[in-house]
Amino acid sequence: MTTHHDDADSFKDESQDSEELEGASKKRDSEFARMLEASFKTPTKKLSPGDKIRGEILVAGKEEVFVSTGTMHDGIVARRDLLDAEGNFPHKVGDQLDLYVTQVRGSEIRLSPKPTAKNIAEDLEDAFDMMLPIEGRVAEVCKGGVRVNIRGKLAFCPISQLDLSRTETGEEFVGQKLEFLITQFSEGGRNIVVSRRKLLEEQRGLSQGSFLEEKHEGDIVPGKVMRLEAFGAFVEVAPGIQGLAHISELSWSRVATPHEAVSVGQELSFKILKIENKEGKLKISLSLKQAGAQPWDSLPLQIAPGQVLDGKVTRCMKFGAFVELVPGVEGLIPLSEMSYTKRVVRSDELVKEGERITVMVKEVNPETRRISLSLKDAGSDPWALVAQKFPVGAIFSGRVERKEPYGIFVKLEEGITGLLPKSKAAEHPEFPFEKLKVGDTATVQVAEIRREERRISLDVPKDPGSEDWKNYSEKSTGSFGTLGDKLKRALEKKGK
């Protein structure tokens, strides 16, 4: 049986629970109202295409990455735009990224790590306002100058503002990446004019003083080939400071144009030959060849008397031909060393400039830096084996090359000519000495060989027991033939 006391306690507990629930509900309503009021008081940030933001990666999906934007809406960037060079995704949730707004459609904000045209224009305008140098690539030659690609926008550089020295068309600068100053920026970046000359003049003014203090004639300095002319190469040896290396100082070898020795953009070492400072204008003479070793100071061992080498004909003169054996080292072939078989009047009868030929080193004089060469000794000397090819007593057929009152010259082979004296022929009245003409074939016998003097004395074939020599066939080629064998054996038999 329930008492009145129990009923009173139960009623009291229910009343307390109801009060607590009501209090919690009021507290939640108050908190929500406070937050709602705060959200209305906080100004909402609006983003537009071209804005740059720094956001935190919230979610990294397979195709898209969600990033906080500092507004009520998150931004979306394509995952592929955030991959590195190897195709990997190097980021994680919580990383901070610098991004650009590319599109805003309602609550959708599209982002990209690449700047938009608006960002580029703003960067270029800042560079213009603060006179900051900016890099650009010379794209093409146009009327009055060149077009320069600067961060995707085309700017114009007048030809007079392209370099410190005069340039005709600017063609030599096409494709090069250079620094420029923006001298005009208008129409939101659609009209941009730049100058490289202004920048070079500023750099030259700053570096000229230190260059004169630090560098002296005779110093070896690094330089970059900037421009080539017919007379030499212009070389930048310090920011805004250029010197000239004359064509004669580009190589120890003879070169027709500077392009044979150097190319634009090459970085090499140069020797300062002379520095002139006239009214604040520096004139610097440079040498590329003197920055290295002198070829004669390290002459290759193979350039020695008796050595046979290949070389390039550099000049054909009246007295002979010059041949370059190694860069900067030339030798001379005198006319007398041109040929054994031909009388040479001019060197260009046998060799031409630019031709590669084989020569023999005859003499080397390091003191006078002269080398004597021979063209004829580099090949086979026809007189080297004359005793074996034309032994004394052998009979040969040859062509009458020359006829003189004292005898006839008979050519036995190319480079080998013998003399049949008239007195020898007179001993044999049957020999047709008077009837022979230049070009006719004559049968002769080797009487004497003087190799050192390069002379062969000939005679009428002697074989009292044979008349074969009179009928010697013109089919003989000049070598020791069958008829010669017979006559020789007959003579040897007769002698025995």
CATH code for position 86 = 2.40.50.140
The arithmetic mean of pLDDT across residues 13-27, rounded, is 59
User: Can you tell me which residue has the tokens 């990455």?
Assistant: 65
| Residue 364 pLDDT exceeds 60 | yes
Tell me what the mean pLDDT of segment 109-128 comes to: 72
pLDDT (tens digit, 9 = 90+) per residue, 28-71?
666 656 655 554 554 456 787 778 889 999 999 889 999 998 88
**Beta pairing partners, 182:** 194
- Provide the token pair at 9: 């306690």
Task: Give the domain extent around 123.
Answer: 117-195
> What was the pLDDT predicted at 496?
47
Boundary (domain end) residue, out of 169, 195, 221: 195
Is 70 exceeded by the pLDDT of residue 98? yes
Decide if 397 is inside a domain: yes
Do the domain assignments include residue 207? Answer: yes
Question: Which residues face 228 on adjacent strands?
Answer: 233
Where does the pLDDT of residue 131 fall: very low under 50, low under 70, confident under 90, or very high at 90 and above? confident
For residue 285, the model assigns a pLDDT of: 93
State how many domains the chain has: 5
**Structural contact between residues 248 and 286, judged by C-beta atoms closer than 8 angstroms:** no
Lowest mean pLDDT among 21-35, 65-79, 295-309: 21-35
Task: Quote the CA–CA distance of 493 and 259 in Å, as a whole number.
Answer: 75
Is residue 467 included in any domain, yes or no? yes
Is the predicted pLDDT of residue 138 greater than 90, yes or no? yes
177 within domain boundaries: yes
Higher pLDDT, 264 or 104: 264
Same domain, 489 and 392: yes
Q: Which two tokens stand for residue 438?
A: 């230049």
Residue 20: inside a domain, yes or no?
no
What percentage of the chain has pLDDT greater than the value 90?
22
Task: Determine the average pLDDT of the residues in 393-414.
Answer: 90
Q: What is the pLDDT of residue 242?
A: 87
In single-letter form, the type of residue at position 342 comes to: K
